[in-house]
Amino acid sequence: MNRTEEIQNGKVWVGIEFGSTRIKAVLIGADYVPLASGVHDWCNQLEGGIWTYSLDAVRQGLQASFADLMQNVQKEYGVPLTTAAGFGISAMMHGYLAFDGSGNLLVPFRTWRNSMTGEAAEKLTKAFSFNIPERWSIAHLYQAILKQEPHVPEIRYITTLAGYVHELLTGERVLGIGDASGMFPIDPKTGAYDAGMCSIFAELTAGTPFQQKLTGILPRIVPAGECAGTLTETGAKLLDPTGVFQAGVPFCPPEGDAQTGMTATNSITPKTGNVSAGTSIFAMTVLEQSLQHVHREIDIVTTPCGDPVAMVHCNNCSSDLDAWVRMFGGLLTAAGAAKEKSALYDMLYTLAAQGEPDCGGVIAYNYVSGEQITGLERGVPMLMRRPDSRFTVENLMRSLVYSCMATLKIGTDILTQEEHVQLDRIYAHGGLFKTPTASQPFLAAALGVDVTLMQSAGEGGAWGIALLAAYMSRTERSESLTDYLNSRVFAGMKGETVSPKQEDADGITAYMRMYRSGLSAERTASQVM
């Protein structure tokens, strides 16, 4: 079949991912190549000291991104998109969406970006002997219990953003195992929520207003490759109010952005990993064996197949860099030399590549929000330099790019230096790598490993969840996701690999010495400003 026939006959798959600044919809064909996409920009709000998105914005963004996809399909292929062989929803992991028995949201959505659950995270980590980060759903729930928030007795279920959207469309309250692993720890032997830790949580909350059984309020886990529901009539009307796209399409389990990033980079086997870099940055390393110690800087989540993954998650990545780029763009506009956004980034990344390896003593802290890895409850972007630092635009830009990776390096060094985890290669994707001139070799130097950008790197998690939807349609039911990706999706796909350069590695080492020394000033600034 040609592309038009694939679309008309429904031999296509759709993936939609809710990122922190953009909602993207992707349509792929039988050869897994993206045929069309649609996007909708959105942004979180800081309300009452809490980072949140409204549920109205979620629904509107879902409709807008899908409408853009449908419009682009009609424009490109001359036929409407009316159905698909499979559909998948992905979104930012973690956070807190708590509902009562009637489906009413009890408190505004608390996203992964909030660092307000320190007490709960510490107590749960100690009780479980398992790292529970502040952004995990169970940390948010336990913090609400500890604070005796009025909504706690009314809680009947909690979910993630992907789980919420999936339920809107299918009526099913489920999650893929990867997204579920960012809500509560998973037992790798059973592929279910850890029963022992559930019992400990029941003991911790005995005598409190929270009287629900934990497994009763968490979404049911559906394995990768299984059908997790179908598009209902109500869901179809929400997704496409024009009525063109029809109900009945099967949905794969909703997954987190970390898992779709792993799928989109084919990094779900041991000794492989990927780095996703945008508003936040995180590295996922598939483990050969369990870590020897509990590290507060490292989460243990899972691949879409349920295998253990060491996750180094940093709340802050490109937001401060983007702010500086906007400022430089404003300067150029005022000077009558305005540049388009992509050309402006290209120019500034090129300048960053020309900076000194140690940035000439110019140190940037990109903390827009709090950061657990470096012990910050809140963030204050800050630039620091000595009087004799070489303050040039090249060194400034290089420092801003370094700052996007600095906290990630602190966490990843624990894996490689203390736990002796071996990495063969890192696959990179996300907005920071749209212009790889500086970011790709800098990341290779920071992590001390080859970094590969696949041809598909720009498609991101929306493509990844579309692949998981396609995996659900496989004809050979016993075929593993690893084999499916290797033999069908990525066979013959090219990528560009960069190895660490010693000069860059030495420069980043020097930069990180200064960066670590200045963290005390950053902590003070975050407290007094």
How far is 18 from 41, CA to CA, in rounded Å?
10
How far is 215 from 158, CA to CA, in rounded Å?
10
Topology of 257-314+422-498 in CATH?
A: Nucleotidyltransferase; domain 5 (3.30.420)
pLDDT in tens, 118-157: 999 999 999 999 999 999 999 999 999 999 999 999 999 9
User: For the residues 247-266, what does the mean pLDDT come to?
Assistant: 94
Q: Measuring CA to CA, which residue among 177, 179, 201 is closest to residue 188?
A: 177
How far is 488 from 150, CA to CA, in rounded Å?
51
Provide CB contacts within 8 A for 231, sequence distance 6+.
87, 169, 170, 239, 246, 247, 248, 249, 251
pLDDT in tens, 78-89: 999 999 999 999
**Percent of the chain clearing pLDDT 90 (strictly above):** 82
pLDDT in tens, 441-486: 999 999 999 998 876 656 678 999 999 999 999 989 899 999 999 9
| pLDDT at res. 316 | 94
How far is 470 from 454, CA to CA, in rounded Å?
20
Q: Measuring CA to CA, which residue among 299, 314, 249, 210 is closest to residue 66?
A: 249
How far is 516 from 381, CA to CA, in rounded Å?
15
| pLDDT at res. 459 | 66
Provide CB contacts within 8 A for 392, sequence distance 6+.
355, 360
Query: Higher-confidence residue: 169 or 268?
Result: 169
On the question of pLDDT at 91 being above 70, the answer is yes
| pLDDT at res. 272 | 84
Lowest-pLDDT range of 190-199, 281-290, 486-495? 486-495
pLDDT in tens, 294-327: 999 899 999 999 999 999 989 899 999 999 999 9
Enumerate the β-bridge partners of residue 312: 283
Q: Measuring CA to CA, which residue among 161, 129, 93, 11 is closest to residue 473?
A: 11
Q: Measuring CA to CA, which residue among 300, 285, 286, 256 is closest to residue 128?
A: 300
Q: How many CA atoms lie within 13 A of 265 on its CB side?
A: 33
pLDDT band at 423 (very low <50, low <70, confident <90, very high): confident
| pLDDT at res. 74 | 98
pLDDT band at 436 (very low <50, low <70, confident <90, very high): low
pLDDT band at 271 (very low <50, low <70, confident <90, very high): confident
Handedness of CA 211, 212, 214, 217 (dihedral sign): negative
Q: Where are the alpha helices (DSSP H) in 78-186?
A: 118-128, 137-146, 161-170, 177-180
On the question of pLDDT at 247 being above 70, the answer is yes
| pLDDT at res. 457 | 58
On the question of pLDDT at 348 being above 70, the answer is yes
How far is 305 from 444, CA to CA, in rounded Å?
27
| pLDDT at res. 55 | 97
Q: Measuring CA to CA, which residue among 147, 59, 150 is closest to residue 98?
A: 150
On the question of pLDDT at 424 being above 90, the answer is no
- Whether this prediction's pTM lies above 0.95 is answered by no
Q: Measuring CA to CA, which residue among 47, 453, 529, 469 is closest to residue 260?
A: 469
